[in-house]
Structure 1
Amino acid sequence: MPRYAMIIDYDGGPFAGWQRQSQDQPSVQGAVEAALARLEPGPHTIAAAGRTDAGVHGTGQVAHCDLPRDWDPFRLSEALNFHLKPLPVAIVRAVRVADAFHARFSALERRYTFRLVQRRAPVTHDKGLVWQVLNPLDAEAMRAAAAHLVGHHDFTTFRSSICQAASPVKTLDEIRIETLPYPGGQEIRFHLRARSFLHNQVRSIVGTLERVGAGSWQPEDVKTALEARSRAACGPVCPPQGLYLTGVGYPQDPFAD
């Protein structure tokens, strides 16, 4: 059967996460599979590059599916978007790919961005899309702290106690901290890149770096926490609404023109 890869954009707020849940728990995967069933009868299963948690968003999630019918990719994306209404899920692009392509196992890297807004006034337009803190943060201190986390490490401190990964050892290729103007304050974006991430790793890292920016931790304390290899040494885990899966890298980009 023809295989198709899709870039999927979604607001994670209304969902219990990417992965299909029980019928009373809406999921992004379940929404796309239901839309596929409207096009072609029968059960459908799609595989994604990353299983985002409840409340986490996607702007560059990649998934693939096999369909009996040979669809024009543009018509497939248009038809799916019609059947996804009014849910906040959109197929940005669909392409035909080789049978060997797998959205998860073919991936070489995942890219996440976390959006943090610092201002005193309540956030309005970005409500549910950012993590808001009230007091100023020292971005340079956070950058110094983040440098201790880049590279090949045991990230036991920064993974959930229910993480199912076989090993806590990961290579974090990049943490880039960007500051942007924001009405009445500033926005800080944390860009992280790695082949794969542990459960809650990004939110644990950002929550800990925020403590450094607030002055409660020193940059060197993050190195100490990492070396402790203990979940108890981690800072607070930040809320999910600021987290976005923004892209997935493959040996050959299936979406390249």
Structure 2
Amino acid sequence: MGATKRILIVRHPEDPFERWGYVIHLLIEAWRERGLCVELIYDIDRPVEADVVIPHLDLTSTPRAYRDFFARYPVVLNRDICDISKRRVSQNLVTRPDAFDGPVIVKTDRNAGGAPELDRLRRRGRVRRKLLQAARKLPWTLTGLVRTRDYKVYEHPRLVPRAVWHNPRLVVERFLPECQGDLYVLRRYVFLGSREYNTMAFSPLPVVKAQNVVRRSKRCSPSHARPFATGACCR
């Protein structure tokens, strides 16, 4: 009988790992029930023996120290995905008011409205919390502080406030929603190895979030995504 496989999950010391309902919690439970050894660490000063490493930093960009740590291991989930800022990954960016003729949406360049980074800032002392509270009172077009549920949709780029175009914390994207009837649709395809699921969420609001979803359905996985999923995970 072979040695027990070891899975190492690397988290950030300032993330809300215990407080938030991450999918990884369910996976950890399932893996341990199958007899796998799962270890969680946030101290990367020393290497830990592992067959597979799973980064779980909940940040838009992976810090250099963590990338160097992952380089020590032969198998790392999503090793090459180190920056998911919209300027890095989006194919729908609009950079000038005259560059697109149609509706657009203004978002933060950082993932999830920059919420993970802001959460860390709040936890670093009273002064930083006070500064953040003060910044929230200023126009969002200047601060770049906008929650995902408050992303703005405009009928044309010319209607986007001028300050947005000069704010590096914000991006403008073409707004290309999928609709069914009078509901907006958000598709979600999740995969890990050979396992996958594909869902659709429906909302009356253009920015589809969990709190405004009125219906969900499970769909067959898209065939065109399977080759990407097969080659994207561990490298």
TM-score range, shorter chain: under 0.3
TM-score, normalising length: structure 2: 0.24
TM-score, normalising length: structure 1: 0.23
Larger radius of gyration: 2
Higher helix share: 2
